[in-house]
A and B are shown apart, each in its own frame.
Chain A
């Protein structure tokens, strides 16, 4: 906010008096220290969970939750892993999230192509319609979906969850891609037509490759959103062997075998995949958070 923020290109200014320079240094390093402290507070819950997940129950009961572990004790994590068959949970989450990410990206591209390139009449209203549908609370569609799924004998299957979230996530993707494709140069489309390109070829050969960056941003968001979904998967997947990671871990809380270190292990196992995705998708996500904020 003060002069110091101006970038190097600004014309040279007279040197400031020493007192002011010192003042600014205090201010800058003070902010740095304050922010580092706050960041530590942000990380504290993760640190606490981690040090207790790798503690033995005996050590926990002697030294309490704040003591650092004397060594790395992985038995608690391994026991919990085997008990809830975490491998299956990971596979379930992976299958559902990947399928939804792929299918919803394709569906969004088709919709975005029709609305953005096609510029059909009523496009604005269709987009408003997609956007409102995107914001509807899951509760307002949950019971009929639950009922339909039972009727169609796809209740308690991953297929039901995949279909539902493909549609829910693509509501946002449609909006995103229609906006991205709207300013697509008309000359390119005309040239393609002159070359005898039909619409499907136009979509696959020209529009899809050009919109790849937006498709990737949406793919990453769709994947993480689906991984994190809670209400509908909780309702649609009652069977432990079909549950996703967040559901399987959440429904076990408060059970008898969940002592302090086991609960810490369960929390750590729930957090770790997300940190992995965060590191994996970090650049894509920061690029798209503003776009994704409509969710």
Chain B
């Protein structure tokens, strides 16, 4: 006991004083993220147009939000987007990663599997706004999708996809499936490489079909990755902005309004900075809760042993 203490004390000459290195990062952090966030929360309790003196109104903005149809619609649209950005890409990503790992890589080689993986991932490396420009062009009334429908004799289905409130959100959802699918695919493909082939082998010998073996043997082994993908993409869904800005500006009406775009409109078009801040604060609260779930999960995984 005595000697251990001595060693610790001896080591302390090197083990202390590291905070100097943390200082620039911490100061910039407080100034660029924490202070603005606290100010946003503060503004959310005021009525402010961005120019005159803010007027304290307590929780009025939050009360307004609760009775605001546009606010609820924006979150409802976000739930629909979860289908397109979380649920479908996760399922598709699992299936595609499973195919690549079980059938393509063994017969056609890892290079072939890597080629597919990179190809599906490609949309992920571009700005989502640019992806929006690409799709806006395809979905335009005289665009490629309608031309394609006419060419194959389904002209009666051609449509102003983004200009009709009934199809605008579905159009954005379709684009987001295309945009997102590569992310789960890449994560799951990597995850499958650390699964134990002996388990699947044993299941197969016991007469399990490839599908049963995938659901009951493989899937439980990559559950941590599935969890990470679901949480990360859910948080990303709450931040959707660029594609809505480029494609529909929330319209027609409020049919494609999302919280992030609603905040933007309140800040910079309607000059309702207080109300916009309240919505931004609600968004941040939801994300912090999701992040807390994520971190507590993550810490059970590895943080605990590392730190």
Contact = CB atoms under 8 A, between A and B. Distances in A.
Chains A and B form a bound pair: yes
A285 B297 CA distance: 25
A43 to B, nearest CB: 7
Interface in B31-71: 32-37, 39-40, 43, 50
Q: Which of B35, B117, B264, B291 has the most CB of A within 10 A?
A: B291
Interface in A240-295: 245-247, 249-250, 253, 260, 263-264, 266-267, 270-271, 274-275, 277-278, 282, 285-286, 289-290, 293-295
Interface in B202-220: 203-205, 210, 213-214, 217-218
B142 interface: yes
B295 A128 contact: yes
A107 interface: yes
Given A1-B210, A290-B187, A253 B136 contact: yes
B234 to A, nearest CB: 11
Contacts of B235: 135
A288 B166 CA distance: 40
Mostly, the A contact residues are helix
A145 B32 contact: yes
Contacts of A148: 36
A110 B122 CA distance: 32
A141 B40 contact: yes
B283 A46 contact: no
Interface residues of B, number: 118
A166 B25 CA distance: 10
Contacts of A183: 306
B307 A163 contact: no
Nearest to A118: B18
A183 to B, nearest CB: 8
A5 B239 contact: no
Interface string B290-307: 111001000100010011
B155 interface: no
Interface string A13-50: 00000000000000110011011001100110110110
Nearest to B279: A139
What is the size category of the interface that chain A forms with chain B?
35 or more
B18 A227 contact: no
Contacts of B260: 137, 139, 231
A102 interface: no
B125 A230 contact: no
A224 B121 CA distance: 14
Interface in B111-148: 112, 114, 116-123, 125-130, 132-138, 140, 142-144, 147-148
22 contacts: A1-B204, A5-B102, A35-B96, A115-B22, A120-B22, A123-B307, A140-B281, A143-B277, A144-B35, A148-B36, A167-B33, A168-B32, A183-B306, A199-B17, A228-B126, A246-B129, A246-B242, A253-B136, A253-B246, A260-B140, A263-B133, A289-B186
